[in-house]
Amino acid sequence: MSAGLVAVVTVVSGRHDHLRLHLGALARQAAHLHVVVAVDDPEAAAAATAAGAHVVELPREAGHLPVAAARNAGVGAALAAGADVLVLLDVDCLAGPGLVASYAGAARADRDTVWCGPVTYLRADQRPYSLDHLPTLDDPHPARPAPAPGEVRDEHRWELFWSLSAALHRDAWQRTGGFDEAYVGYGAEDTDLGRRAERAGLSLRWLGSARAFHQHHPVESPPVRHLDDLLRNGALFAERWGAWPYPGWLEAFREQGLVEPDGDGGWRRAAAGSTAGST
């Protein structure tokens, strides 16, 4: 078993161009194990293997991406290899200079904290993205804390945890119990893990030196194509924690006439002819 091993865990299904640049950015980082979980994607698995990553392959689950299960599988492979620091990094994210080393130092210094770093959402008109010039594009997401490089900021709003870019020591991971694999498809698994971490007595902190850059792709807001996943996972979250997640999206769906209250404090797809979108 390797001592002091840092593992970066990435889940991928599609986004092959993004994966190639993601792999290139990580190749510039401090020594680490890169675990890539390819979900129903042999092409991504082959590209990651060629880049020297440890690849775990998973099928879809009833046509859905098993996001929570995939992340757990990646972390499980990392732990089996001897990792003591676990970095979760989305395939769309390019690791800024020093991200892996910054996360590793922070997680080893404070094993009771979940760490998140600022993420800049790159624009389409900035393509092609140059790894050499990423720092010049630094403009972190305005809805999230963005401490400067070298700065650390405490956070008490666990709903802001995102696995887009995060890190924790293996001891902290084990205290959370990992992602709840009952969440299948899109939505709620991050918020649930945040609740688990808070319940386990962990802290949430922002690490200014762990900066990442999110490659542009088209987005849908609210994410209508994931509506059924969001309703199913939202109901599960409410059963676990007593309240629904992502209230902003649910209200936007209601305004579009897509969902309505179910009469029991929850939400369901709007019935045909419903006036759920009226004001």
Residue 190 sits in a domain whose CATH number is: 3.90.550.10
Provide the token pair at 168. Answer: 């924790």
Provide the token pair at 268. Answer: 């369901």
Antiparallel, parallel or unpaired: β 5-12 and 33-39: parallel
Identify whether 274 is part of a domain: no
pLDDT band at 258 (very low <50, low <70, confident <90, very high): very high
Q: Which amino acid is at 140?
A: P
∠ CA 93-99-103, nearest 5°, is 115
Domain span holding position 245: 224-269
Strand pairing partners for 89?
A: 165
On whether both 166 and 87 belong to a single domain, the answer is: yes
Tell me: pLDDT of 218 over 90: no
Tell me: pLDDT of 90 over 90: yes
Tell me: pLDDT of 203 over 60: yes
pLDDT computed for residue 278 by the predictor: 35
Backbone φ, ψ for residue 137 (5° rounding): -100, 5
Please provide the average confidence, as pLDDT, over all residues in the chain.
94
Nearest to 11 by CA among 85, 63, 68, 49: 68
pLDDT computed for residue 274 by the predictor: 47
How far apart, in whole angstroms, are the C-alpha atoms of residue 134 and residue 213? 7
Nearest to 176 by CA among 195, 162, 157, 163: 195
What is the helix (H) or strand (E) element at residue 206, kind and residue range? strand 203-207
Give the residue, 70 or 263, on which the prediction is more confident.
Answer: 70
Tell me: pLDDT of 3 over 60: no
Percentage of the chain beyond pLDDT 70 is 96
On whether both 205 and 236 belong to a single domain, the answer is: no
On whether both 160 and 236 belong to a single domain, the answer is: no
Q: How many CB atoms lie within 10 A of CB 33?
A: 19
Identify whether 128 is part of a domain: yes
On whether both 198 and 87 belong to a single domain, the answer is: yes
On whether both 95 and 37 belong to a single domain, the answer is: yes
On whether both 209 and 244 belong to a single domain, the answer is: no
Are 99 and 213 in contact by the 8 Å Cβ rule? The answer is no
On whether both 46 and 160 belong to a single domain, the answer is: yes
Tell me: pLDDT of 276 over 90: no
On whether both 38 and 154 belong to a single domain, the answer is: yes
Identify whether 276 is part of a domain: no
Tell me: pLDDT of 273 over 90: no
Average pLDDT of span 27-34: 96
Identify whether 96 is part of a domain: yes
pTM given for the model: 0.93
On whether both 207 and 257 belong to a single domain, the answer is: no
Give the residue, 146 or 4, on which the prediction is more confident.
Answer: 146
Identify whether 277 is part of a domain: no
